[in-house]
Structure 1
Amino acid sequence: MRKNPTSPTPSESAPVSLRTVVLDVQPDGSMTVTIDGTPHPRPENTGVWSRKMFPQIIDQASDERAVPVRFEVHEADGTSFTDLIPAAPRKPVAEPTPQKKEKRKPGRPVLVEVTGDGFVPGEDVAVAVIVSHTDATGDGTARALLDPAQTTISGGVVLVGRISGTIVVETLR
């Protein structure tokens, strides 16, 4: 009697499925390919398997890396080697993404104007949250044109004169 009735005995364990691919390399570099003892059809475009087709053979034999494969390579000089190519980890199935909101169609942007006085004519004026810079006009007035997407913050816009130190705060409505 077994101690744990739910554990399988060695004769009850699940079989391991591992494909075996045998590559017999000829002196001219061509190969014959068998998968689990069955000859693998030759490629249509060239008619022979060659070493440069090894990645293609791996992908075909492993169902695009879905199953592990044991490769045996028998060289023309009598040497051979064996390698195991594991299956690639399965990618988790992505849940459907909710439909995104329809984006604004490209076209002429709708702009928000912010104006302030007291700047030195021609000075560089910073627009904060700094999304843009503008220059003061000849009479010391600065004007900034903003895309509404840049003004999603609630509160105001700050104009800062880099020379005069003038600060103008305007509330957005």
Structure 2
Amino acid sequence: MRRHTTPPLSESVPVQLRTVILDIHPDGSMSVTIDGAPHLPPEGADPWSRASFPQIIDHASDDRAVPVRVEVHEADGTSFTELLPARPPRRPVAPESASKRKKEKPAPPALVEVSGDGFVPGEDVACCLIVSHTDAAPDGTTRALLDPAQVTGAGEVVLLGRISGTVVTRSLR
């Protein structure tokens, strides 16, 4: 049987949680304290308002590196509390060696072709799931080339002539 041991306190990481208190005034301005210390708007700037909330949170959380407890005290006496977690740290991307990059060639673009006829020559033709537009050829035909990522999960595409009103439905399967 294995025994679980608790690491000594000197090896544990301290929990850090900042507290932001926002006191909303009847005129819409607000007073801000971070960990009990007043936090004033930049010199020459307007008083804090609700629109300043992201700026205040970013400052208090060191750009979301530290979790924050936010208390909002409304002018009408109501209040609420929210906990905003820190974002997980981003791992730096290791640069690839030049030889490795040269060996990897990007795959040629694979496109889905959808065609139809009966359109007015040169008219604008909408491709619905509306991800693009195309023009009708001089003979009234049209062709749309779609990125497969745009039509993932779709079973049909509709070509719609903006002038003629011609509607062509094509299956993607």
User: TM-score scaled by structure 2?
Assistant: 0.50
Q: Which of the two has higher C-alpha Rg?
A: 1
User: TM-score scaled by structure 1?
Assistant: 0.50
